[in-house]
Structures are given as structure tokens and as C-alpha cells.
């Protein structure tokens, strides 16, 4: 069986943890930051784990 290719767009967005979960960044931190409060910007900087139902297609995109 041939080797699977990694989807590079997914590799830049998600990071795999040791337990097999995936980490992602929050949205809405790319622009229009002047009107957002410092608390909101700080919370948007945090990473969080991907939901269980969304991790299966990501696992197919990041085989290695």
C-alpha cells in the first residue's frame, strides 16, 4: 500500500498531542483587534482541544 500524503493545510492548523488528541487555535484573532478588549484577545490566544467528532477527519488528514 502506498504512503499517505499529509494535508499541509491541516498540518499548519492542528498539532497532535501525546494522547492522540489535536490542538487548535481559536478563530477571530486575525484582524479588527482594536475594537476587541484585552481580555477577549487574551482568551483568543489560548489553544484548545478539537472536539471528539471533529477529530476523525483530522486524523485522516494527518496520518503520520
Q: pLDDT digits over 10-53, tens only?
A: 999 999 999 999 999 999 999 999 999 999 999 999 999 999 99
pLDDT recorded at residue 28: 96
For residue 41, give the CATH number of its domain: 4.10.410.60
- Structural domain including 45 reads 8-58
Q: Is residue 52 part of a domain?
A: yes
Identify the three-state secondary structure at position 45: coil
Residue 48: the pLDDT is: 96
The domain tally of the chain equals 1
64, pLDDT greater than 90: no
17 falls within a domain: yes
Please classify residue 62 by burial: count the beta carbons closer than 10 Å to its beta carbon, then call 0-12 exposed, 13-18 middle and 19+ buried: middle
pLDDT of residue 45: 97
- 44 found inside a domain: yes
2 in a domain, yes or no?
no
Residue 3 domain flag: no
Amino acid at each position: 500500500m502506498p504512503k499517505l500524503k499529509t494535508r499541509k493545510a491541516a498540518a499548519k492548523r492542528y498539532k497532535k498531542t501525546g494522547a492522540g488528541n489535536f490542538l487548535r487555535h481559536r478563530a477571530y484573532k486575525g484582524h479588527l483587534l482594536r475594537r476587541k478588549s484585552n481580555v477577549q484577545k487574551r482568551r483568543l490566544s489560548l489553544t484548545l482541544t478539537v472536539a471528539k467528532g471533529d477529530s476523525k477527519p483530522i486524523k485522516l488528514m494527518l496520518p503520520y
